[in-house]
Structure 1
Amino acid sequence: MSDALAVLLAARGVPDVGDVFARDWRFDLRDTPADPAQVALPADDQDDRLARRTGWRPRWTVTDPATAAGSWRAALQGGTPVAVVGDAYHLPWLPYHGREHMEHGFVVDGLGTDGTVHVVDPYENATEWGRAAPTATRVSLDTLAPALPGGRWAVLVPTGTTSTPRAPRAQIAANVAAVRRAADNGAYERFVDGHAPAGRAELENLTLQTWLLARDRSLHARWLADLPADAVDAGFVARFADIERGWRRAMESAYVALRRVRGGRRAPGAALDALRSVTAAEVELARAPGNGQE
């Protein structure tokens, strides 16, 4: 969904949509009894952060598929594209089509008089069924309707104010404090222990969660690397780059393990080893004295 919202922000002239999503480093878990645990990505307060940082807030609406087009047309006539949440299983341009149910965000930026919808989807990912690549396509509203059981969609509305962004060192210090709190509260232990059985359900969840974390850490690593040399400690940047690579290894290991389990074989231990290694590295970096942010 973050990618779809980034398209809407770019359409409103926000100059650096990457910075908006990349400044934070956290390890928050969803406040649910689900086990294994799920990371809060996108963050539960993402809409609030966007409002503070850009002056635009997503306004969410729920409309049934039968009346969605009319609601979207009104928004589009006002000059704003629409971010839509649908079920990837029913979205024909995705490799998940007919194979896997999951929430997926995309953008509607046009409606034809012939009952078609123009879709822009910035999503990119390698899947076991082929690669999902950024695309623009046109589909009929009838084709799209099964993907919209909840009809959840958003436009951006101006808030009128923005907050002065934290200086880089202050932002990094806040991030470090957030990760320390997560570690002290046992979030990392709960996440690792919940996936330790390494059965099919745990590995399916772990594959998705590590993909989210690898993507999130990759964005943050680029944000750190782009900061001026005097704004951040170089050693901290280098160690975080190692963490970003660690999450990619964890993601790849989880995916391989899941494929093996789906094929009736035993999960290799590499997936949990990679997970334990990268979570330990995150906690160590956050707790390390003299990491340049104190």
Structure 2
Amino acid sequence: MTTEFDVAEETAVSRWDAVLPGIRAEALDCLQSTVAVLADAAYGSGAHLALGSRWRFPTLDDSGEFAVQPSVAERIDQARDVLGMRVEPVGVALDSAHLRDEAETGPIYIVSEAYDLSWLPYARATKRYREMPHSFLLERTGREYSVVDAYYADTEWGRARPTVVRMTGAEVDSAIGGTGLAVRMTTTTKSAPIDPRTAMADNAVVARRAEPAIDAYLARARASLTRPEGIERLVLDVWHLCRERLLYGLWLGDHEAAPLVLAATQAWQQLASQSYLASRRAHRGTPPHPALIDDMGAQLYADTELMTALGASALPIPQAAGSNLEDVIRSVIAEVVGLTDRELAELTAGSPLRLLPGFDSFRLVSVVDLVEERTGAVPASDASAADLADVAGLVRLFSRGTAPVSR
């Protein structure tokens, strides 16, 4: 016989089970993933992707040093500013009895040390490399408690995957304690969708101002690279940036800029593998090579160029004789290369021009000259490789230049 109590218990658990499959956990850090669960539960699947709309660079941390890893406070501010969450403190001393009482009336967002949480692979570690604050939800569900953890990672001690863990009160008391953070995050009226054009323009401003911070960060990273804490910090920094860049690309969805962003993400993933290998070798006594910092710097500066270019593409596109600039560029490419109507229809904004039959640097110059002649728009003088790679890049190039003269 099913009682009212049993039905309530089943419903409370299944709502999280229904949310977790929609979380792009591979693109979230261990503080964002719990915010993502709350956002999607309230606003619908995919709402959490808005957390990726901001492109970060090294910034000053609480110690006054330039760093990459976001603090708990920064991630909570992001939940408030981007997703419109209301945040109310519950406590900083993680008293399990108090938290269980709070969990009676709704889920609690808790941050604790990852190595202390029994359901994570880090609990099996015999050595702690660093402090790792980790978030999860705690909620009373029927006779027991649900721990909801959307974290996704592969570690040397095993895999972590999004899960709901059922616990008794005694098990909660055993699993949660010490210092940390507990807040209640509640959703308000859903914020208006973030316009990619606005986000790109804002991110371009951040990118243009990032150079001093990048230089200071790299100097610090280079000075500490051969120390255990230095290489571990670098590995985690690259890991965070990998996930943030991927989340930005996922947030863009089918936007024409997404392929460029995802290409940058692949470069960060390669650097992540490189830094992790250096870390493992350092544990065996082989100092990391300083070229690792050079590669990190090159990638950060490539990011500034990408964000600046995308910000420029977010400006209003000049119109050419009543036609959209992109249409003019596409028709000129078809003329210069000799594309059929079908091939022209298949030429998307992100299609690599180098893959077109017979396309080379001479034809690229012809395309630019003809577009300038037919539109009156002058391309910007600071052309990057990305500006010349595809139709979208050429649109950016002319958008940053001089607008067409009225005729």
**Smaller-chain TM-score range?**
0.7 to 0.9
Please tell me the residue identity of whatever aligns with 1:95. P
CA-CA distance at 1:128 after TM superposition: 1.9
Aligned to 2:91: 62
Please tell me the residue identity of whatever aligns with 2:91. V
Please tell me the residue identity of whatever aligns with 1:61. V
2:137 counterpart SS class? strand
1:61–1:153: 8 Å Cα contact kept in structure 2? yes
CA-CA distance at 1:289 after TM superposition: 8.7
Name which of 23, 32, 45 aligns with 2:53.
23
In structure 2, relative to structure 1, the CA distance for the partners of 1:164 and 1:65 (3 Å cut) is closer
Identity of paired residues, percent? 28
1:76–1:82: 8 Å Cα contact kept in structure 2? no
Please tell me the residue identity of whatever aligns with 2:108. V
Please tell me the residue identity of whatever aligns with 1:118. S
- Once the two structures are overlaid, the 10-residue window that deviates more, 262-271 or 121-130, is 262-271
Aligned mates of 1:59, 1:14 — CA distance in 2: 22
Larger relative contact order (CA 8 Å, sep ≥ 6): 1
1:253–1:270: 8 Å Cα contact kept in structure 2? no
1:155 counterpart SS class? strand
Aligned mates of 1:201, 1:191 — CA distance in 2: 15
Q: How many pairs are equivalent?
A: 276
2:63 counterpart SS class? coil
Aligned to 1:144: 175
- The one-character-per-residue Cα deviations of 1:8-56 (angstroms, maximum 9, x if unpaired) are 2223244533332111112142433365x42253685544443354442
Matched, 1:188 2:193: no
2:67 counterpart SS class? coil
2:121–2:157: 8 Å Cα contact kept in structure 1? yes
Aligned mates of 2:310, 2:242 — CA distance in 1: 25
Aligned mates of 2:201, 2:72 — CA distance in 1: 19
Please tell me the residue identity of whatever aligns with 1:263. R
Name which of 216, 220, 223 aligns with 2:251.
223
1:51–1:57: 8 Å Cα contact kept in structure 2? yes
Aligned to 2:293: 272
Matched, 1:240 2:261: yes
Matched, 1:168 2:199: no
Aligned mates of 2:310, 2:199 — CA distance in 1: 17
Name which of 203, 219, 222 aligns with 2:231.
203
- The one-character-per-residue Cα deviations of 1:233-252 (angstroms, maximum 9, x if unpaired) are x3x43332222112212221
CA-CA distance at 1:166 after TM superposition: 4.1
Q: Which runs of 5+ in 1 are unaligned?
A: 228-233
1:20–1:50: 8 Å Cα contact kept in structure 2? no
1:97 counterpart SS class? helix
Bigger Rg over Cα: 2
- The one-character-per-residue Cα deviations of 1:56-91 (angstroms, maximum 9, x if unpaired) are 22323215344x3344434433xx322111111111
Matched, 1:5 2:26: no
* TM-score between the two structures when normalised by the length of structure 1: 0.82
* TM-score between the two structures when normalised by the length of structure 2: 0.61
Matched, 1:254 2:275: yes
2:39–2:187: 8 Å Cα contact kept in structure 1? no
Q: Which runs of 5+ in 2 are unaligned?
A: 1-30, 316-407
Structure (1/2) with the larger helix percentage: 2
In structure 2, relative to structure 1, the CA distance for the partners of 1:56 and 1:109 (3 Å cut) is same
Aligned to 1:81: 107
Aligned mates of 1:43, 1:85 — CA distance in 2: 8
